[in-house]
């Protein structure tokens, strides 16, 4: 008999936790979930893992009685694509950060704006695809994508800029000036931005 748990936010978050790991033992997975801000009890984690195992989204590997690990099932196509994309993004992050700060402040803001628009369009597309999904696996894959797009890693250019603004007052002032100019160029002068 299959468990009564439906794929919910915890199932998605378990899959997201497993995205970047080859495999995790139960306690490692529980700690990873907690470190990601997901308050889940061990019995609840066990129930959700059983559900994901039944749906064949997660694979359980036992090596002896005390050594059991979990990993994403490599057969799940769309989720596998998300995993590969996420791993590639992680590998490119340091190089991306160097390139980002080699640009002037205006170009940095342009990059951030372009990424924000793209991320929002990707979220809208995922929501539409979710509504059109016929299978639970497709719905789950689109839910994972929407959750991944909300993670700080998908807003990494913004994070880089914020971190540098906190550390460097001169950079912060240049960014604030560039932001005001950027908004003015797009929307024109407004009462809120006018200086008398």
Closest CA to 133 of 121, 143, 122, 123: 143
Task: Please give the order of strands across the beta sheet that includes 24-25.
Answer: 24-25, 68-72, 58-62
Which two structure tokens, joined as six digits, stand for 121?
């369009």
Residue in the block written with tokens 């995205």: 19
Closest CA to 19 of 68, 125, 90: 90
Residue in the block written with tokens 């160029």: 185
CB 146 within 8 A of CB 123: yes
Question: What pLDDT does residue 123 have?
Answer: 84
CA distance 81 to 175: 36
Q: What is the mean pLDDT of residues 26-30?
A: 93
Which two structure tokens, joined as six digits, stand for 49?
């893992």
Closest CA to 186 of 118, 120, 113, 104: 113
pTM of the predicted protein model: 0.55
Apex CA 115: angle with CA 109 and CA 120, to 5°?
130
Residue in the block written with tokens 């991944």: 148
Q: What is the pLDDT of residues 89-129, one digit of tens each?
A: 666 776 788 899 999 999 999 999 998 998 889 888 888 88
CA distances from 156 to 124, 144, 147, 162 (A): 20, 18, 15, 10
Residue 164 CB neighbour total at 10 angstroms: 16
User: Model confidence at 41, in pLDDT bands (50, 70, 90)?
Assistant: very high
Q: What is the pLDDT of residues 154-189, one digit of tens each?
A: 788 888 999 999 999 999 999 999 999 988 888 887
């Amino acid at each position: 008999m299959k468990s009564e748990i439906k794929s919910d936010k915890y199932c998605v978050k378990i899959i997201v936790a497993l995205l970047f790991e080859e495999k995790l033992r139960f306690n490692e997975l529980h700690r990873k979930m907690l470190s990601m801000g997901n308050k889940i009890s061990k019995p609840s984690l066990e129930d959700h893992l059983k559900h994901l195992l039944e749906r064949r989204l997660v694979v359980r590997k036992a090596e002896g009685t005390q050594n059991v690990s979990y990993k994403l099932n490599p057969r799940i196509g769309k989720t596998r694509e998300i995993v590969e994309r996420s791993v590639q993004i992680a590998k490119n992050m340091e190089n991306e950060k160097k390139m980002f700060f080699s640009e002037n402040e205006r170009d940095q803001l342009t990059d951030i704006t372009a990424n924000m628009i793209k991320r929002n369009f990707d979220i809208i597309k995922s929501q539409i695809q979710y509504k059109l999904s016929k299978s639970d696996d497709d719905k789950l894959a689109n839910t994972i994508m929407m959750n991944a797009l909300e993670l700080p890693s998908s807003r990494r250019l913004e994070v880089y800029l914020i971190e540098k603004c906190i550390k460097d007052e001169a950079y912060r002032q240049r960014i604030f000036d560039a932001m005001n100019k950027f908004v003015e160029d797009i929307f024109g002068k407004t009462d809120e931005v006018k200086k008398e």
